[in-house]
Amino acid sequence: MKSSLLNTIIKLSFLTLLTLTLCACSIFNVNSTKQETQTTQAPQKQEYSQEAKDSFALAYALWETEDNCSDPEQAIALLNKVIQLEPNYAEAYLWRGLALSELTKWEEAFDDITKAIRLDPSAMNYAYRGLVSMHSGNTIGAQRDLDESIRINPHQHRAYNFRGTLNVLLEKVEAACEDFNKACLNGDCGGLNLAKEAGHCL
């Protein structure tokens, strides 16, 4: 019994550390996200009002100097304004969802990222919704979204790392290591390095 409890604690500690590290390396890698956003937006290019773009930039800046959002509530307030001005601003829904997830408001975060997906069904958006689903305990939904992210873009390193974390949670260690290796091949070795340190992968 003690051994089983210890193993559970170790696994949860690893998952917590892994998720936090992957969020720092993947979700909040601003330069990478900016580049990917430019290549994964919906085909129709929309022009937004300058006021909406300015408010979005102020919210986005809250992620530029931190590994997470320095002020989620302020980010949400700014993004509320963006969405009020431009209801079809997909990135505003995504980042508001991420800010809500910082406050562990998983259901609201899921709803926002779902709206982002309806406006822009990109690999990145599916990856983030998968992460939120995993945090909220919806492993089936997380698996579905992460698989879809990879189907859309087989080089989506975030999705591989997040799915690897999900596989660790589901005790599918071999599948997890395969995903972490694929993420590493696509430029993000954070998950693989942590998994190796924890003794999960060779």
- Model pLDDT, residue 18: 62
pTM for the structure as a whole: 0.82
Which of 114-142 are b and which e, b meaning 16 or more Cβ less than 10 Å from the residue's Cβ?
ebbbebbebbbbbbbbbbbbbebebeebb
- Model pLDDT, residue 68: 83
Domain regions of the chain by residue span: 1-38+121-202, 47-99
Mean pLDDT by 10 residues, the chain (202 residues): 41 55 50 46 66 96 80 97 98 97 96 98 97 95 98 96 94 95 95 90 87
Query: Who contacts 129 (Cβ-Cβ below 8 Å, separation ≥6)?
Result: 97, 110, 113, 114, 117, 145
- Model pLDDT, residue 16: 59
- Model pLDDT, residue 2: 39
- Model pLDDT, residue 36: 55
Q: Which fold has domain 1-38+121-202?
A: 1.25.40
Pick the closest to residue 42 from 155, 97, 121, 113 (CA basis). 121
- Model pLDDT, residue 46: 72
Long-range contacts of the stretch 30-39 (C-beta < 8 A, 24+)? 30/60, 30/63, 30/64, 33/124, 36/124, 37/91, 37/124
- Model pLDDT, residue 124: 96
Query: Who contacts 101 (Cβ-Cβ below 8 Å, separation ≥6)?
Result: 109, 131, 132, 135
- Model pLDDT, residue 7: 47
